[in-house]
Structure 1
Amino acid sequence: MTEYVGDEIAVIGIAARFPGAPNAETFWRNLLDGVDSIRDYPEDELRAAGVPDRLLADPDYVRSAGHLDDLDRFDAGFFGYPPGEAELLDPQHRLFLQIAWTVLEDAGYDVTRYAGSVGVFAGAAVNKYLLRHLLPNPAKSPLRADGQLDPGHTPDYLPTRVSYKLGLTGPSVAVQTACSSSLVAVAFAAQALQDFRCDMAIAGGVAVTSTTPSGYLATEAGVLSPDGRCRSFDASAAGAAPGNGAGAVLLKRLTDAREDGDHVYAVLRGWAVTNEGAARAGFLTPGVDGQAATVTEALVAGELAPETIGLIETSGGGTAVGDAIEVEALARAFAAAGGAPSRCTLGCVKANVGNLDAASGIAGLIKAVLAVRTGTIPANPNFVVPNPGINFTPTGFSVAEKTMAWPTAHAVRRAGVSAIGMGGTNAHVIVEQPPDRPSSAPDDSVHDLTLNGRTPEAVRAAARRLAAHLTEHPELSLADVAYTLRVGRSAFAYRANVVVSTISQACQALTSELTVVPAGQAAARTETTAPGRRVPLPGYSFEPERLWVEPPFTVASIGPNGPDE
């Protein structure tokens, strides 16, 4: 196994909300099953959303997207927002607030009691809600009479909003590099940890490319798929559908994570961020040399030989030319780093969920993290016939046609993750399987499982989710579960306690009638806890309500003379 030198970065928490997946566990199951999560909208739904007949009749109009449910809903009270203010917030900010809270809980940390500094590095797409819903509505528009926009409505405010609402005091930095934003954020967060600028860091991104059910106009030789399907590395590759999504990881110095008993999903071994400069055909056109330089730098930074990489989670835009460029760049990078892959599989999460804009890189990273953790490489949907413009044979690369076990030729599971930003800023991050964690000792003692919530129903929802999780993971130590709930969850107005000695007893008690009481009537919460370790458990059960400003018209209905009447 790997001998660590002391500057590696651990991934100790993950959180995701992607098309077809309300959480990271569902996202991973979908990947393993090769699920294509792009949604095809029926005509009546599009028409009800305001898509005009002239677009529905256009043969180039594609009725598909990577859809997220309940964009119009938000638990404003949880984050201290009055409803009137919450309905004006960019849905991207609302999504990422919840993701940030969830990723901290997934790692087993209660931010109200954590003494260290936590940084936030994140990127977001353009605020479509501002453009389509608020600005055209005089009663809701944040554009002042002097032509100035009220603060808080642009992507720049995303990380600082999280830091303010969660009380985080580390660096809070917005990252804007188009489709590579969230992976660049991960690289910046990892570097900040190496430089001791913070003790933990949230890194990720969010994109809401469409606020209502809608498709798009595909153009010949464009980056948008003419049928809504991304076929990365396939002979029929012609682009990808746009999609909505949000994700984040929580990072920490590996030495600290191991000392603190954290659950480690994976280790970041090397990373690089570069720009291609003028050495490409156009501002929005990717180049071979620039991509190769990024991958080479990440390998060198991690002091890793190319043949030790078993998976490359590519940017994979799903175009014939773009995919060929990326494979050529990878081949050059591996050669420049002193070797070639003995066997390396290529994957692309865009084939599952579409192009998630600023959240694309974090989707690929979370996929790679779970792949090295579990030793399973998910299938690449929609791959049938290899792109004839790519000569895979001499490179050693192949595409994952089905979900498979990690190649046994690799003693240590490692994966590279690429993100290519329009404009030339590229990122590459290398992740490695986590170090062995000793199993918890058998324990048949009695443990108190504490559940908290702002309302009694939130407590009961938390109990149901925990019971479902324990049913799926009977291998968990009850001592670890109790410890995580005790030290890794914030106290709220209501509480329930379940005293049990086995996982099966816990599942039964959690699904029975719970006694939920105001926190003031419950037994005093003590900071002295039984020994245990942090383990991933379901996070807070948010109680969202509809907080939404309807668009006075859709952007799709705007013609040369302005909005349709």
Structure 2
Amino acid sequence: MTDNGQEDQEHLVAVVGMVGRFPGAPDVERFWENLLADRETITVLPDRADPAHPEFVPAYGVLDGVGDFDAAYFGLSAHDALITDPQQRLLLECAHEALERAGHGGMDRPVTGVYVGTGGNGYAEAVRARLHEMPFVDEWRVRQATAPDFAATRIAYHLDLTGPAMTVQTACSTSLVAVHLAVQALLNGECDLAVAGGATVVPHLPTMRYTPGGIVAADGHCRAFDADSDGTVSASAVGVVVLRPLADALADGDHVHAVIRGSAVNNDGRHKAGFTAPSVVGQAEVVRTAHEVAGIDPHEVGYVEAHGTGTALGDPIEVAALTQAFGSGEGRDAPCLIGSVKTNIGHADAAAGVTGFIKAVLSVEHGVIPATLHYRSPNPAVDFATSSFEVNATARPWPTDGPRIAGVNALGVGGTNAHVVLEQAPHQEESAPSTGHELLLVSGKTPAAAEAAADRLAEHLAAHPGTHLGDAARTLQAGRTHHAHRRFVVASGTQDAVTALRAPAPAPGTGALSDAELVFMYPGQGGQHIGMTAELYDGRPAFRRALDEVADAVAGSLGFDLREVLYPRTDAERAVAAGRLATIEAGQPAVFAVQYATTRLLDSWGLRPSAVTGHSLGAYAAACAAGVFAPADAIRLVAERGRLLGAVPAGAMAAVRLPEEEVLELLPADITVGAVNGPGQCTVTGPAASVARLAQELTDRGLEARVLRIATAGHSPLVDPITQCFAEAIEALPRDRPTLPVLSDTTGAWVDEDAVRGSRYWVRHMREPVRFGEALDTLFGAPDRVLVDMGPGRTLATLTRQHAAYDGKQTVVRLAPHPAEEASETAVLLAGVGEMWARGAHPDFAALQHDGPRRRIALPTYPFERRHHLVPSPTPFTPTATTPLTPTPVASPVSMTEASATGLPAEPGEAATGAPEAAADVPAGVPALEHPPVLQAVLTAFGQALGYPDIDPQDGLFDLGGDSLTATKLAAWAGSTFHLTVKASDVLRFQSPASFAALIEERGADASAAEKENSTS
């Protein structure tokens, strides 16, 4: 497909994400590498070879790590993870990864359906064989954890997917049928995004028995369509794809791997020799139907990924059916190539269809068809001569020049056939290269996971330096779930990002809050400078609109344009602007303007304060943010304030690093304290000459004193003559009740809603000392607040960190660079946004985009922290002459390390090397420490119910992965053990072992007292 109009796209579905775990390949990328390298990844198992019984085939498509799972990530206890079928666990992880790879791992994804299936693996029987060792596990729990009924709904529950969730079971065609059902659901509007696939995971390696003419290859190699073929080889695999209507995918910037043009499913019915036999009629019909749905001619298909099991009956019938559907090769420019992935990895049963589908998608996407291994000469039972097909024996480029179209075939024992038609994706324009700084986010449920996520992202960007950083930022911002432990970097290129991600991480904090309480702190005059926020004014429309709004509102009263002062373009203009900005008449409205525009920019990004405060002049921007003053009125009031202050006798202010009581002893009569910013941070104010003289005297004495860039003596008796005029200016303006809490920098207390509207409040504010240190004392009373310095400069962030009560627990954020700092304003601002996000704020990341539409791209997925959870096989396999045809699962002995992770005791003599054997009389889950009898019993019960050998008395039930069913079991245990009435609600209320044990002891004491009273009466 080179171009599709909107009408043509209505019946097309895009493949936007793929994840899989295959023999020899932990992911799709390695899988594709193996295919292109002609690698067979079936494992030869020498320990399974038995010269006395050569009929047992020592080969299998082994999947690594089938027992490993991150139970804590999904909120499961160790016991729940242990008894849950590994197929369902791996499907859950892969579904999570697939959504992340598709860029839809965030919680605001479209309505998503789930269509998956699993194979049989005997795990439920293995669990039931160990039930005597798991006293809190019953039959219902086993069924819930292992029955295929729950494969789809388990994914929907844990990933919060609200579309249809359906488990599909059609044997070998399961996962391709799942893809078909997902396509139908998308086209019917039942969901907007769909996860589809399947898993066959055999946790204990089987030993397959060869039977002449059967399905198992004697030598452990699958030779599909070859003259020497004599069967297949079994394998474990998991495959999951994410699908979306093509029009939606293109509009939303999804990466489209390929397009599903059409699909069909049917059943052979009785048109075959027996229930397990295949049928030419049924298979041919399903292919023809798929072609009709896709609206294609068979001659357009360049490749078919066949079911291709290499069996004596299956291959000839499949090719005969395909020949009926495709017709002869007459009229074709080139033969249609055919192949089978089973020659590489084996037959993955319920996952076979989606595995072939993923291979075909990759072939269509990259224009390369991998080789079908072991093919030397055609199977004489297959009539290739009169067909359209040629077995693809070597990797080769796509054989046709037109749009690449492929078919995928899957056939199930029992007769359910599926066929899907794939086409290459339409051309998608690349995103424009990133032109500025980008905010990259990673997170984890634990600090270690967050660091691992940063490392993986760094490795990926280092390996793919051409990655558009804007696309990466968009994917990480909107396409991931944001967990509690967070890291971010701001970078302007991939190398910058790699360096920042590899830098030592900040000390881990408590993690993000569920909803951060942002306090916007607005500084006063002093940090203003020529060109401040020019980068934001030029590059962020929301900032520009807000600044234009207030600059236009005050232009008449000022007599000049604030923008000419803030953003001069020539040297001559800069000289004039610098002179004006140094005056209080221009400096104060300039500071207000950039603070207001910054507030509006953050608001457009979804970052709004829970409370506000200001320092001197900053109180006006704070009041405006709280809705007391309208923006135009506020800046006119600030300009009038600056005009009035400019009319008082020449004054100045100086910072003195001493406590207030010591400063008061040093002051001459004409200088007063203008601000107390902390226990050792004061500002003095008065006539300019006196302030300069005092600052020099203090410096000569070795004390720290510095004259500030403020050409007035605010907060001093010098302002008394202008207070009446200022009060009249305030009274002339409309004032509303604040919509946010306002913290006064005059009193250090929260302002009364009526008081902040009165002129008396603002006159007092201008005349009396600023007591910002006391305001910080108030803010520090709630350590979870995030304190945001709204700039310009970083004055308040510095004062906050220098305050004696600051202990590092409060998050302090700055949004602007220091005037002397050579740093990008955008970079500092984005870093501030990252800091707020890291503490739990919820930016609107879509609004954060600034340089055109961005695409979702494949990036590293969540770094699961897996532990081993696997029940041993109930019966080891021993080949004998009477061994039944059905293979019996085989398990390696479980070490003490594994037993600890699973919560099961090890078998006698199975201790790991160097580890002491467990005492035979110590049940699983018994804590090592001694406790009072009731608490010891409760700890043991919690350990057995949850699968953890060491539980702290203060651990919470839910924190350990427990649920209401666990609570019911524990309540029943407690009632039976202590002969008391205990309900599940008691366990849920008193969740820790310590509190639950205390409850039992209290009820036991009450029962004893009542019994004693009854006996005496």
TM-score by structure 1 length? 0.92
**1:535 aligns to what?**
857
| TM-superposition CA deviations, 1:369-414 (whole Å, max 9, x none) | 111111111111111222122232332311121111111x341001
1:38 aligned onto 2:32: no
1:123 aligned onto 2:117: yes
1:151 aligned onto 2:463: no
* Distance across 2 between alignment mates of 1:557 and 1:134: 24
**1:396 aligns to what?**
388
1:466 aligned onto 2:439: no
- In the TM superposition, 1:138-217 aligns within 5 A as 138-140=132-134, 150-208=143-201, 210-217=202-209
**1:93 aligns to what?**
88
1:443 aligned onto 2:760: no
1:279 aligned onto 2:274: no
**1:523 aligns to what?**
835
* Distance across 1 between alignment mates of 2:320 and 2:356: 20
* Distance across 2 between alignment mates of 1:194 and 1:337: 33
The one-letter code of the counterpart of 2:361 is V
1:132 aligned onto 2:454: no
* Distance across 1 between alignment mates of 2:132 and 2:486: 44
**1:83 aligns to what?**
78
TM-score by structure 2 length? 0.52
Indicate which of 60, 72, 95 corresponds to 1:65. 60
The one-letter code of the counterpart of 1:88 is I
Q: 1:101 to 1:149 in 2, by over 3 A?
A: closer
1:476 aligned onto 2:467: yes
**2:21 aligns to what?**
17
Task: Report the Cα offset of residue 332 of structure 1.
Answer: 0.5
| Counterpart secondary structure, 2:263 | strand
Q: 1:555 to 1:2 in 2, by over 3 A?
A: farther
Q: 1:63 to 1:137 in 2, by over 3 A?
A: farther
Indicate which of 423, 431, 437 corresponds to 2:422. 431
Indicate which of 500, 513, 516 corresponds to 1:509. 500
99-108 or 437-446, larger mean C-alpha shift = 437-446
* Distance across 2 between alignment mates of 1:94 and 1:263: 27
**1:373 aligns to what?**
365
**1:419 aligns to what?**
410
**1:110 aligns to what?**
105
* Distance across 1 between alignment mates of 2:855 and 2:465: 16
Q: 1:384 to 1:465 in 2, by over 3 A?
A: farther
Question: Which of the two has greater helix per residue?
Answer: 2
**1:50 aligns to what?**
none
* Distance across 2 between alignment mates of 1:406 and 1:336: 20
* Distance across 1 between alignment mates of 2:304 and 2:188: 27
Indicate which of 12, 27, 35 corresponds to 1:8. 12
Q: 1:150 to 1:179 in 2, by over 3 A?
A: closer
Q: Number of matched residues?
A: 551
The one-letter code of the counterpart of 1:199 is D
Structure exhibiting the larger radius of gyration computed from Cα positions = 2
Task: Report the Cα offset of residue 36 of structure 1.
Answer: 0.3
243-252 or 458-467, larger mean C-alpha shift = 458-467
The one-letter code of the counterpart of 1:132 is A
Task: Report the Cα offset of residue 241 of structure 1.
Answer: 1.1
Across the aligned residues of Structure 1 and Structure 2, the Cα RMSD in angstroms comes to 2.5
Q: 1:221 to 1:93 in 2, by over 3 A?
A: same
Indicate which of 245, 267, 270 corresponds to 1:253. 245
**2:714 aligns to what?**
none
> 8 Å contact 1:137–1:551 — kept in the other structure?
no
> 8 Å contact 2:329–2:335 — kept in the other structure?
no
* Distance across 2 between alignment mates of 1:517 and 1:507: 20
> 8 Å contact 1:347–1:400 — kept in the other structure?
yes
Q: 1:512 to 1:524 in 2, by over 3 A?
A: closer
383-392 or 516-525, larger mean C-alpha shift = 516-525
| Counterpart secondary structure, 1:31 | helix
> 8 Å contact 1:276–1:287 — kept in the other structure?
yes
1:29 aligned onto 2:29: no
Q: 1:137 to 1:560 in 2, by over 3 A?
A: farther
* Distance across 1 between alignment mates of 2:98 and 2:52: 43
Task: Report the Cα offset of residue 464 of structure 1.
Answer: 2.8
| Counterpart secondary structure, 2:374 | coil
Task: Report the Cα offset of residue 143 of structure 1.
Answer: 8.8
| TM-superposition CA deviations, 1:150-186 (whole Å, max 9, x none) | 4342111100111111111111111110000000000
Task: Report the Cα offset of residue 56 of structure 1.
Answer: 6.5
**1:345 aligns to what?**
337
Q: 1:328 to 1:514 in 2, by over 3 A?
A: same
* Distance across 2 between alignment mates of 1:286 and 1:420: 8
> 8 Å contact 1:193–1:200 — kept in the other structure?
yes
* Distance across 1 between alignment mates of 2:343 and 2:268: 26
* Distance across 2 between alignment mates of 1:156 and 1:433: 34
* Distance across 1 between alignment mates of 2:262 and 2:472: 32
The one-letter code of the counterpart of 1:120 is V
Question: Which of the two has greater strand per residue?
Answer: 1
* Distance across 1 between alignment mates of 2:141 and 2:452: 43
* Distance across 1 between alignment mates of 2:132 and 2:332: 60
> 8 Å contact 1:334–1:341 — kept in the other structure?
no
* Distance across 1 between alignment mates of 2:52 and 2:396: 42
| Counterpart secondary structure, 1:225 | coil
379-388 or 287-296, larger mean C-alpha shift = 379-388
**1:49 aligns to what?**
none
* Distance across 2 between alignment mates of 1:413 and 1:14: 19
| Counterpart secondary structure, 2:79 | helix
> 8 Å contact 2:83–2:145 — kept in the other structure?
no
> 8 Å contact 2:121–2:203 — kept in the other structure?
no
* Distance across 2 between alignment mates of 1:338 and 1:207: 40
* Distance across 2 between alignment mates of 1:465 and 1:556: 43
**2:487 aligns to what?**
496
The one-letter code of the counterpart of 1:302 is A
> 8 Å contact 1:72–1:548 — kept in the other structure?
yes
180-189 or 533-542, larger mean C-alpha shift = 533-542
**2:646 aligns to what?**
none
| Counterpart secondary structure, 1:212 | coil
**2:825 aligns to what?**
none
* Distance across 2 between alignment mates of 1:211 and 1:448: 42
The one-letter code of the counterpart of 1:494 is H
Task: Report the Cα offset of residue 503 of structure 1.
Answer: 1.9
**1:360 aligns to what?**
352
* Distance across 2 between alignment mates of 1:2 and 1:80: 45
Identity percentage over the alignment? 40
* Distance across 2 between alignment mates of 1:143 and 1:498: 46
* Distance across 2 between alignment mates of 1:110 and 1:349: 29
> 8 Å contact 1:312–1:346 — kept in the other structure?
yes
Task: Report the Cα offset of residue 532 of structure 1.
Answer: 2.1
